[in-house]
Amino acid sequence: MASHTAIISDLHLCEAEPVNLRFPLWKKFKTRQFFFDDTFEVFLKSCEEKAQGASVELVLNGDIFDFDSVLRLPDEPVFHVSGLEKRRGLFPIEERSRFKIEVILKDHADWVRALREFVLRGNRAVFVIGNHDLELHFPEVQAEIYRHLNLPEDKKHQVRFVEWFYISNQDTLIEHGNQYDPYCMCEDPINPFVRGYNFVSLKLPFGNLACRYLMNGMGFFNPHVDSNYIMSIPQYIKFFVKYMLRAQPGLVLTWFWGSVLTLLHSFYDRLAAPIRNPLKIEDRVSLIAEKSNAEPRMVRELKELFVAPAASNPFLLARELWLDRAFIIFVAFYLIFQLMIFVRAIYEISFFWAFIPLFLLLPFFLFYSKSVTSLVSGYKEPDDRVMAMTSAITKVNRIVYGHTHHTRHEMIGSVEHLNSGCWSPAFLDVECTKPLDQKTFVWISPGEAGTRQAELFKFVDGKPELLMNPGRS
């Protein structure tokens, strides 16, 4: 049982991006200047001070590591690296994922050391798996983290990994929250693996695939803030001219290739059947329940609340990727081209006349494009029904999420809802001068009448500052 619990999420620890001397804004958010490993160490010591000698339970609530953004490759790989992997990162296969976590941990050696010393001082750490660190499901990846922490045998049990939720002190449910986002949900965290030809892999959600095949190739878009890459046509044009015209003039081809790849891979993964052993399902459910401080029935009932994956709807994904608009443009050009061939067979006219019907169709295309809105941001809001059902299943009245990168502290019906925000390099601008809710955390401590109270803090200049009634930020 823990009397003091600190909850942080969405650190998105990744490899260090080398500074691009020619185009310094290229993936600037990934460079070492925005590493917060030293701040993390001060934060842990601050939590211990707040606990006044009592042990602290640190819950790392999902997306602690960002496997999808790791592009480094092994110098002498023991496995075949495909051309796609060389351009967009290694596939989610166990030996490849182990290499990626090793890269992250080596680049964040100070972060690892701080967590190790925190555990050695008598505290514990719980990793809740999110959508960008789904590869933590691999046993070899967890073993690599234990190896870097280098804890003595009697301390290893102080660090644990849980599949998608954790119940702290029987009064707080902690989830990353991606299971209620159709674009980012893990289809079956109880059985997350799928079998390929002579290998076992993870089934990745649409959001992960978009980050790998689209965002990894477009380095001026920060994937940690939706508004950085979900824009209107005029905004995209202005952004392209201002930042990308010289650095990435072939952006349209990069987008189209990445979008098609994302769409095809999403459907391929959707059809892949998870590896299940009927004789071990109950053992697996019991193990998940034990690690999460829950009962087996809670595991099964919480799984029933998951949303359907967005990959079930191909038209929805095509619209999110703007492929529907690309298809309309292609069809318009094709039909007009065929019309001009027919007309030129009768009259000697220039092909430049083809631009007239294109200009006439432009207002209709712009109207359609403006009427299509992305649904990604719509799933950033907590679902009242899901929260009520979750509370009833787990018998808690407090739920803490991450995932959205937005801090929240509010009452929704009878449930106290908090969101711990993020520590990730999330900026509202390419120059990385406007951070979004960085270094926020939830602190749960003993309150009145033997209960615990939850508060939302922001860690500023080495000290926690209480955020008073942030509501929706």
Reduce the secondary structure of the chain to three states and give it as a string. CCCEEEEECCCCECCCCCCCCCCCCCCHHHCHHHCCHHHHHHHHHHHHHHHCCCCEEEEEECCCECHHHCCCCCCCCCCCCCHHHHHHCCCCEHHHHHHHHHHHHHHCHHHHHHHHHHHHCCCEEEEECCCCCHHHHCHHHHHHHHHHHCCCHHHHHHEEEECCEEEECCCEEEECCHHHCCCCCCCCCCCCEEEECCEEEECCCHHHHHHHHCHHHCCCCCCCCHHHCCCCHHHHHHHHHHHHCCCCCCHHHHHHHHHHHHHHHHHHHHHCCECCCHHHHHHHHHHHHHHCCCCHHHHHHHHCCCCCCHHHCHHHHHHHCCHHHHHHHHHHHHHHHHHHHHHHCCCCCCHHHHHHHHHHHHHHHHHHHHHCCCCCHHHHCCCHHHHHHHHHHHCCCEEEECCCCCEEEEEECCEEEEEECECCCCECCCCCCCECCECEEEEEEECHHHCEEEEEEEEECCEEEECCCCCCC
Q: Identify the pLDDT of residue 264.
A: 92
All structural domains of the chain with their residue ranges: 4-218+253-312+380-466, 322-371
pLDDT digits (tens, 9 = 90+) for 119-175: 999 999 999 999 999 999 999 999 999 999 999 999 999 999 999 999 999 999 999
Q: Which CATH class is domain 4-218+253-312+380-466?
A: alpha beta
Tell me the CB-side half-sphere exposure of residue 82, using CA atoms within 13 A.
Answer: 9
Choice among 22-31, 426-435, 441-450 with the minimum mean pLDDT? 426-435
pLDDT digits (tens, 9 = 90+) for 106-120: 999 999 999 999 999
The amino acid occupying position 362 is L
Tell me the CB-side half-sphere exposure of residue 45, using CA atoms within 13 A.
Answer: 12
Choice among 96-105, 163-172, 348-357, 415-424 with the minimum mean pLDDT? 348-357
- The Cα-based distances of 146 to 105, 117, 156 in angstroms read 11, 13, 8
Q: Which residues pair with 212 in a beta bridge?
A: none
pLDDT digits (tens, 9 = 90+) for 230-282: 777 788 888 888 888 888 888 888 989 999 999 999 988 888 888 999 999 99
Residue 418, class by beta-carbon neighbours within 10 Å (0-12 exposed, 13-18 middle, 19+ buried)?
buried
Phi, psi of 211 (to 5 degrees): -65, -40
pTM to 2 decimal places: 0.90
* Strand pairing class (124-128; 159-162): parallel
Task: Give yes or no for residue 12 having a pLDDT over 80.
Answer: yes
104 vs 141: CA distance, rounded Å: 11
- The Cα-based distances of 301 to 298, 424, 437 in angstroms read 5, 32, 33
Higher pLDDT, 193 or 53: 193
The closest of 30, 93, 31, 110 to 66, measured between CA atoms, is: 30
The amino acid occupying position 298 is M
46 vs 421: CA distance, rounded Å: 18
Structure tokens at 356: 């007239």
pLDDT digits (tens, 9 = 90+) for 326-374: 888 878 778 877 877 877 778 777 767 777 776 766 666 665 566 666 6
